[in-house]
Amino acid sequence: MGDISEFSLKVQLFLKAYRWRRIDPVPWTPLSKPLASCRVALVSSAGFVLPGQEPFDEKKRGGDPSFREIPSDTNVGSLADAHRSESFDHAAMLRDPNLAFPIDRLRELQESGRIGQVNRRHLSFMGSLTAIGRLVAETAPAAARLFAEDGVDVALLVPV
Amino acid sequence: MCNQTVCLIAAELERQGISTVAIQLLREVSLRVRPPRALFVPFRHGHPLGEPGQPEGQRALLEAALRMLEDPTLRSPALLDYSP
């Protein structure tokens, strides 16, 4: 288990005072069909961007709530770590981006028939958001609409 | 903050009819934010699926996440521990 003590004292004090957003009511969508028939997508908050994509805005106060689309045929080695946080070890996911964006594992699950299909695109967010207003009001709903248009049944979400 | 961010995105996806599992690294954040389905993993920040270069471990963790989706006994919010 990750622990708050991994962080600097300054970050620990911030996290202890931070007013976390409580989801209420908690929505619940049960599976409507077997996983072997489901379309699955990934959401990573590792701040990955592809070459040529606009980087996340590191100077935006409260964090950049936008997201980048990552096509399903992406070679994970081409993902660039644009996460601004200094509060975690970046070396591991740079060495193995599947740690934070397990697209190779998802392809295996499709090949084995455990899931139906890997969606044609996935989403990358910059997770270190302290101001969540625009995420909740705009970009998360936009992400959900995009996946709904694709017919996504299941999303797996990976923080770092 | 990553933990809260993916929880809030998961909630929006569920509202739009998409089933989700959010991997989580900080129990105290998950208990406050309450994503629909959370799988607590015993790893450090920066290592949400374990150590690098260990695809077997990644497969096992994703299988645990998929089983959460298939478990008809779970109720919202479902917060489970993952043991490698």
Task: Please give the pLDDT value at position A83.
Answer: 67
Flag if A114 and B1 touch (Cβ within 8 Å): no
Q: Are A29 and B39 in contact (CB under 8 A)?
A: no
Task: Please give the pLDDT value at position A82.
Answer: 64
Interface check for B60 against chain A (CB to CB < 8 A): the answer is: no
Give me the mean pLDDT over the B18-23 stretch: 98
Interface check for B62 against chain A (CB to CB < 8 A): the answer is: yes
Task: Please give the pLDDT value at position A132.
Answer: 92
Which residues contact residue B34 at a Cβ distance below 8 angstroms, ignoring those fewer than 6 apart?
A22, A23, A24, A26, B7, B77, B79
A118 in helix, strand or coil?
strand
User: What's the CA gap between A41 and A34, in Å, rounded?
Assistant: 16
Question: Domain locations in chain A?
Answer: 29-158
Domain ranges, residue B39: 2-81
The closest CB to that of B34, out of A26, A100, A144, belongs to A26
pTM, whole model, 2 decimals?
Answer: 0.94
Task: Please give the pLDDT value at position A39.
Answer: 98
Give me the mean pLDDT over the A38-56 stretch: 94
The closest CB to that of A26, out of B4, B29, B77, belongs to B77
Interface check for A146 against chain B (CB to CB < 8 A): the answer is: no
Give A76's pLDDT tier (boundaries 50, 70, 90).
Answer: confident
Flag if B45 and A29 touch (Cβ within 8 Å): no
The count of domains in chain B is 1
Flag if A144 and B13 touch (Cβ within 8 Å): yes
Per-residue pLDDT tens digits for A81-125: 666 666 677 888 888 999 999 999 999 999 999 999 999 999 999
Residue B20 in this model has a pLDDT that exceeds 90: yes
CA dihedral (A114, A73, B61, A141) positive or negative: negative
Give the residue from B68, B84, B48, B41 showing the smallest Cα distance to A43. B48
Interface check for B67 against chain A (CB to CB < 8 A): the answer is: no
User: What's the CA gap between B53 and A5, in Å, rounded?
Assistant: 26
The whole-angstrom distance between B60's CA and the closest CA on chain A is 10
Interface check for B71 against chain A (CB to CB < 8 A): the answer is: no
Give me the mean pLDDT over the B27-48 stretch: 93
Give A1's pLDDT tier (boundaries 50, 70, 90).
Answer: low
Q: Are A69 and A92 in contact (CB under 8 A)?
A: no
Interface check for B6 against chain A (CB to CB < 8 A): the answer is: yes
Per-residue pLDDT tens digits for A2-42: 677 778 888 888 888 899 999 999 999 999 999 999 999 99
The residue of chain B with its CA nearest to that of A105 is B59
Q: A96 to chain B: which residues are within 8 Å by CB?
A: 52-53
